[in-house]
Amino acid sequence: MMDVVIGTGKGFFPLESDLIEMAQTKVHRKKRQVTILIIWMILWEVGSESIQYSVLEETESGTFVANLTKDLGLKRGELAERGAQVVFKGNRQHLQLDPQTYDLLLNEKLDREELCGSTEPCVLPFQVLLENPLQFFQAALRVRDINDHAPEFPTREMLLKISEITTPGKLFPLKMAQDLDAGSNGLQSYIISSNPHFHVLTRNRSDGRKFPELVLDKALDREEQPELRLTLTALDGGSPPRSGTTEIQILVLDINDNAPEFAQEQYEVQIPENNSLGSLIITVSARDLDAGSFGEVSYALFQVDDINQPFEINAITGEIRLRKTLDFEEFQSYHVDIEATDGGGLSGKCSLVIKVLDVNDNTPELTMSSLTSPIPENLPDIIVAVFSVSDADSGQNQQIVCSIDDNLPFLLRPSVENFYTLVTEGALDRESQAEYNITITVTDLGTPRLKTQHNITVTVSDVNDNAPAFSQTTYTLRVRENNSPALHIGSVSATDRDSGANAQVTYSLLPPADPQLPLASLVSINADNGQLFALRSLDYEALQAFEFGVRAADRGSPALSSQARVRVLVLDDNDNAPFVLYPPQNGSAPCTELVPRAAEAGYLVTKVVAVDGDSGQNAWLSYQLLKATEPGLFGVWAHNGEVRTARLLSERDAVKHRLVVLVRDNGEPPRSASVTLHVLLVDGFSQPYLPLPEVAAAEARADPLTVYLVVALASVSSLFLFSVLVFVAVRLCRRSRAASAGRCSGPEGHFPGHLVDVSGAGTLSQSYQYEVCLRGGSGTSEFKFLKPIIPNFPPQGIGKEMEESPTVRDSFLFS
């Protein structure tokens, strides 16, 4: 038995101007309060529709109630898409939604008497909450009563004492029965067993309850029948009706002329619900005009076994006191019957109406209907939570204020009836704060004010709105040449303020700005941690530095990236030994220097010329005389390689001398090269002119041995000169153009191109080429350093303009 009633009248939805709300806002330094003063609905829009469902109590759980989709006029599946919820007051879920069809079903068996007590009709309002967008539908569930309770008297037997002189028509109030059902299923009437003296009347009390009164139809005669037993039956209106009975014992008393009479037939009193136990409520009094024991009055509550009776009476004084805590939310008033009985058994009755006054003894309640967490950052006006508030008190004690801390980027907005929504106040930034602890404070306006606090935690989900950021915009890495392949040369690092995949960074190399730079064969990068590796051994002499770009990208969607520049400086290693340019060491006949015996100390014999392919201090050269035939006769200048006599020559000095000169760089460890010089001491030879041939011939005739020696030396010198000329001509003719007239006729050529000192620290630069001129006539030979001839170098070389170098004159003597 179930029906659905859809009608017009006092509607539940929508709520517009007919709901009178008073808003009260209080601004504090640290709190923002959103206040709404709720006053019950006074006027509803005429013609607005409401949905009310009706169901019988005790119906089984899971029973179909209604097709909610159809009743709300929604599309099929829309309830599921929008996360529909059914919300009742006080977190009681009397109805549920079928997870497949979203039909409205009973969630539990309903007991009307438990839910509504004696209130009729029993209506349970509820809301249907939809999200995306947020929408409320107001509805109500009426629980219809079934006849599941029979009337029940407080006692199984009642005792009445009636004087035999009582005249017919006298009324005697009886204890009433209780029926927990309501409406037609509640108690309807009383009947009494058949007898010649009494009949029973059914009366309505001020609170709507029915009570019986016994009416005397025929006078009693104690001598004829001193005691009567009657059966009183209470009937409800169910089908079939239920009933309850009690026995009435009537004792017929001897003459007692007067029954007690109360000063008032009805007393009224108001007491607050928080009155302490034992407190005096009122004192009633009755008077009996009889004397003696017939005039002594005792008091009693007529319904002493009533389960809802929180009062007690002093039988002698008539003081009524509180014996049980009152609760305005449970009962707002009580109707108490008081009986005064004299010593002769006669009694009188009065009524006491006690109205309970509400005090602010109930804290507000907050019911969370919907909570969304996490919420995305960068989006404004996001509905975080939907909740309702209520207070079981009444009047001003029921008025409610909701608030949250004002230092939070959230707002409370009142919605329909007692619902609120918690929304974001603008866009949130997860990188600034990823989690919020929100305390919702609900305070009533009673005295004293009571409040409830509800804490929720809202997390902010990440959106890829931050690009990776490098710790530096430019990185400078240094690696020494001749490194091992796959050497870790440094790292780049970038961080992303986002989280999850949005914060995972991958690294890659950007194409070089110089297309000639073979970056892919020089370095590689670990995509996960940004470590850089040299793929092959680097050569400072070929590549001193190079630059490239690095890209850091996250794995978000869309991916964001940033760039940094990396400069790699190749550090020079002392991997080149000095190379001697002069005297030549290419396997030709050793060079012999001729020195006249008349030479003075400091006479320039020759100059050792060497270069070093390294740079910096690795290319700084020093010269040292390693071996000599006669130590102390010759010396080498450490910085320029000049070989000079250390003292005056004498006839005792040997003719032939062998000198070994060591050339050493300043690297760590140092590298070196050596060169061997042959020096021949010649008599009668003075620099810068050789003796005339005629003089030499005369001396040769005078001394045959000297002639032979001179001829031999001249032959050797000629052979050496010829070899030098041939060597120089072959080397220089490959690149040089024809020598101009008036210049030395020998060819010119390049020294090896790899002999370079970029720093110009004292050795010969790659930018110098030399002309060698041998002149005759006077018998003097010269080795000259003439002007530099600028070559065309590769792009990575360093071009410099060089000044003309000074001439170094070395003597050769040919016999």
Q: What is the pLDDT of residues 378-411, one digit of tens each?
A: 888 888 999 999 988 888 888 999 999 989 999 9
pLDDT band for 120, please (50, 70, 90 cuts): confident
Q: Which residues contact 39 (CB under 8 A, 6 or more apart)?
A: 20, 21, 22
pLDDT band for 808, please (50, 70, 90 cuts): very low
Q: What pLDDT sits at residue 257?
A: 75
By three-state DSSP, how is residue 733 classified?
A: helix
Sign of CA dihedral 235, 236, 239, 243: negative
Q: What pLDDT sits at residue 182?
A: 85
Per-residue pLDDT of 17-43, as tens digits, reads 333 333 333 333 333 433 333 323 333
Per-residue pLDDT of 121-151, as tens digits, reads 889 888 888 888 888 888 899 998 888 889 9
Instruction: Give the residue among 152, 117, 149 at the shortest CA–CA distance from 241.
Output: 149
pLDDT band for 11, please (50, 70, 90 cuts): very low
Among 252-261, 602-611, 612-621, 758-767, which is the least confidently predicted range? 758-767
Mean pLDDT over all residues of the chain?
79
Residue that is written with structure tokens 């990236």 in the block: 561
For residue 341, the tally of other CB atoms under 10 A from its CB is 21
Rounded-to-integer distance, Cα 115 and Cα 145, Å: 11
Per-residue pLDDT of 49-63, as tens digits, reads 568 899 998 899 889
Task: State the first-to-last Cα distance of the chain, in angstroms, to the nearest integer.
Answer: 147
Q: How far are the Cα atoms of 10, 215, 709 from residue 466, in angstroms, in the given order? A: 55, 93, 92
215 pLDDT higher than 90: yes
pLDDT band for 789, please (50, 70, 90 cuts): very low
Among 268-277, 343-352, 630-639, 711-720, which is the least confidently predicted range? 711-720
pLDDT band for 589, please (50, 70, 90 cuts): low
Nearest-10 Cα torsion for 549, 554, 555, 558: -90
Give the CA diameter of the chain: 207
Q: Which residues contact 12 (CB under 8 A, 6 or more apart)?
A: 50, 51, 125, 138, 139, 140
Q: What pLDDT sits at residue 2?
A: 36
Instruction: Give the residue, 478 or 46, on which the prediction is more confident.
Output: 478
pLDDT band for 456, please (50, 70, 90 cuts): very high
Instruction: Give the residue, 490 or 745, on which the prediction is more confident.
Output: 490
Q: pTM surpassing 0.85? A: no
Taking the CA atoms of the chain, what radius of gyration do you get in angstroms?
62
Instruction: Give the residue, 89 or 338, on which the prediction is more confident.
Output: 338
Per-residue pLDDT of 241-250, as tens digits, reads 999 999 999 9
Per-residue pLDDT of 312-338, as tens digits, reads 999 999 999 999 999 888 888 888 999
Q: What pLDDT sits at residue 40?
A: 30
810 pLDDT higher than 70: no
